[in-house]
A and B are shown apart, each in its own frame.
Chain A
Amino acid sequence: MSTLHTVNKSPFQSQCLYNCTDLIAPGDSLVLIEDGVYALKLGGEERARLLNAIKQGTRVYALNADLQTRGLDSSWAEIKTIDDSEFVELCCKHQRIQSWY
């Protein structure tokens, strides 16, 4: 069974997101939480790197409350916005959870 990953650091500050996407397996999912949601502001090559993980079969989500408190809205069609309950649900649907921070 697959793994759920969380990333809570901004990609403008930390390598966490890329450490995660380099290792994530097809069928795994990634939830951007806390400052991790700043990934939605990525452009250029970095944006392409995240999109590539999605193309390889990783589902990416962003925690809505964390987007809201940071003044962001989900502008990526490829990234679904979820609430806290859906985050819990995703944890149930995956065997294990790896937190990148």
Chain B
Amino acid sequence: MKFTLVILGAPYSSAASFSAWRFCRAALENNQQITRLFFYADGVHNTTALAAPPQDEIDLPAQWSTLIREHNLDAVVCIAAALRRGVLDEAERDRYRKQAANLGAEFSLSGLGQLIEATAHSDRTITFGH
């Protein structure tokens, strides 16, 4: 079956992000398809490339990046949710004249239409909230 995953929780404020990550991994192990990962609301904090947690702690943004890379997943971050929370790619950094871009290479910024489109092409949608 085809799944859209909506991730609304920031990495360290709740268990939502790790639950979504585990669900994604289990779905892939069971030969389900992931149409799209959609990071929205506080979930956009999972997509920063600048997180540097202590070595003996789980690095959730890095774990998401690895899972996405290994399985060639489509990972979209809502641009409006990301901009207001300070998650920018290089184009947005330039547009808003900010000091840095921090969006991980595995993610792309786009609009909510990408969530709607993914849902339209999926059998199931599951939300992981905070």
Q: Which residues of A contact B (CB under 8 A)?
A: 8, 33-35, 65-66, 83-85, 87-89, 91-92, 96-97, 99, 101
Do residues B127 and A33 form an inter-chain contact, with CB atoms below 8 A?
no
* Bound: A44/B67 CA distance, A: 43
A87 to B22, CA, bound (A): 10
Question: Which residues of B line the A interface, CB within 8 A?
Answer: 1, 3, 14-16, 19, 22-23, 25-27, 29-30, 32, 123-130
Q: Say yes or no: B22 contacts A65, CB within 8 Å.
A: yes
When distances are taken between beta carbons in the complex, the residues of chain B under 8 Å from A83 are 26
Q: Of A8, A85, A97, A99, which is within 8 A of B30 by CB?
A: A85
| Beta-carbon contact of B3 and A99 below 8 Å | no
Chain B contact residues: over half helix, strand or loop, or mixed?
A: mixed
User: In whole angstroms, how far apart are the Cα atoms of A35 and B3 in the complex?
Assistant: 24
Q: Which residues of A contact B129 (CB under 8 A)?
A: 8, 99, 101
B3: which A residues are within 8 A, CB to CB?
Answer: 91
- 22 sampled A-B residue pairs with Cβ under 8 A: A8-B19, A33-B19, A34-B16, A34-B19, A35-B15, A84-B22, A84-B23, A85-B29, A85-B30, A87-B23, A88-B23, A88-B26, A88-B30, A89-B30, A91-B3, A91-B126, A92-B32, A92-B123, A92-B124, A96-B125, A101-B16, A101-B130
Bound CA span A91–B26, Å: 12
Complex CA gap A66/B124 in Å reads 23
Question: Complex: how many Å from CA A88 to CA B16?
Answer: 16
